């Protein structure tokens, strides 16, 4: 047990060192269905890949006085690295998650075009929203059963929107599910489910600060994001 704990601590220290050194963003794979984790991250533990297209991964809500807008995306890609010790799986060591701006769907095509325009998200120049995970804090087991363990954690990292990066701490739940006949009905491999709900301010990222829609109360400066990501040790590109 002491040896396993020592390896886990070593991984945390390595993750902190790489974050401090400014390790670059992970590139997309050739098929574009996931990211290619850097070798430094792969060596730290067990890699889990986001499975895009699984349900609605992101729901974003603008609850302004004069209009309530809700949208979704199911095209998030990325990865997370967990300790190899299953007892510590909730204390993620590294990761990166990418949300293509062009995938945001409010149900009204013209509004989606406005959202992607340079006046708002600037999708042509800044096509992705990126969260780079630097560390996990306050990890504690919230629930445990024969087939899964759920941790309450705080994800600490950098959120980059329209080329502006801001540090962010996000409360989250992480559920670890080793592969079984039950989980294989959902997806192959060991699974992780990541669930969190948090808010971002458009003005923090220099978005739409002078737009009439915000000033008039039709679009809220604070956007709520409800996120559910399913990750697997089997890449979504496996067998393709």
pLDDT per residue, tens digit, the chain (240 aa), is: 444 444 344 344 344 434 333 345 799 999 999 999 999 999 999 999 999 986 789 999 999 999 999 999 999 999 999 999 888 889 999 999 999 999 999 999 999 999 999 999 999 999 999 999 999 999 999 999 988 999 999 999 999 999 999 999 999 999 999 999 999 999 999 999 999 999 999 999 999 888 999 999 999 999 999 999 999 999 999 876
Burial of 177: CB neighbours in 10 Å, binned 0-12, 13-18, 19+: buried
Q: CB count, 10 Å around CB of 86?
A: 14
Query: Domains in the chain: how many in total?
Result: 1
Whole-Å CA distances, 9 to 13, 14, 85, 93, 233: 6, 9, 11, 10, 22
Tokens at 172, concatenated: 């989250």
CA distance 73 to 160: 17
CA-based radius of gyration for the chain: 18
Is residue 156 situated within a structural domain? yes
- Residue 130: domain span: 2-22+38-232
Helix locations, 22-176, DSSP H: 39-42, 109-116
As beta bridge partners, residue 171 has 154
Is residue 64 situated within a structural domain? yes
CA distance 152 to 142: 6
CATH of the domain at 205: 2.40.128.110
Q: What is the DSSP letter of 29?
A: P
Is residue 27 situated within a structural domain? no
Q: pLDDT tens, 160-217?
A: 999 999 999 999 999 999 999 999 999 999 999 999 999 999 999 999 888 999 999 9
Is residue 51 situated within a structural domain? yes
Is residue 222 situated within a structural domain? yes
Is residue 142 situated within a structural domain? yes
Is residue 28 situated within a structural domain? no
The answer to whether 31 and 238 are in contact (CB under 8 A) is no
Is residue 82 situated within a structural domain? yes
């Amino acid at each position: 047990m002491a040896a396993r704990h020592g390896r886990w601590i070593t991984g945390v220290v390595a993750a902190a060192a790489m974050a401090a050194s400014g390790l670059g963003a992970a590139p997309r794979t050739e098929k574009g269905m996931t990211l290619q984790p850097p070798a430094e991250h792969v060596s730290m533990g067990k890699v889990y890949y986001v499975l895009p297209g699984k349900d609605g991964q992101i729901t974003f809500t603008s609850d302004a006085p004069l209009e309530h807008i809700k949208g979704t995306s199911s095209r998030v890609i990325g990865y997370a690295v967990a300790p190899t010790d299953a007892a510590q799986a909730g204390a993620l060591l590294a990761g990166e998650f990418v949300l293509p701006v062009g995938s945001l769907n409010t149900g009204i095509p013209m509004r989606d075009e406005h959202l992607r325009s340079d006046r708002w998200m600037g999708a042509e120049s800044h096509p992705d929203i990126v969260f780079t995970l630097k560390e996990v804090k306050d990890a504690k087991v919230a629930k445990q059963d024969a087939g899964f363990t759920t941790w309450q954690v705080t994800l600490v990292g950098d959120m980059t929107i329209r080329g502006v990066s801001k540090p962010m701490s996000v409360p989250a739940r992480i559920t670890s599910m080793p592969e079984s006949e039950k989980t294989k009905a959902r997806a192959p491999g060991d699974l992780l489910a990541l669930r969190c709900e948090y808010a971002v301010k458009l003005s923090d990222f220099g978005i739409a600060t002078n737009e009439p829609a915000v000033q008039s109360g039709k679009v809220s400066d604070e956007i709520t994001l409800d996120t559910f990501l399913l990750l697997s040790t089997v890449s979504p590109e496996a067998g393709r």
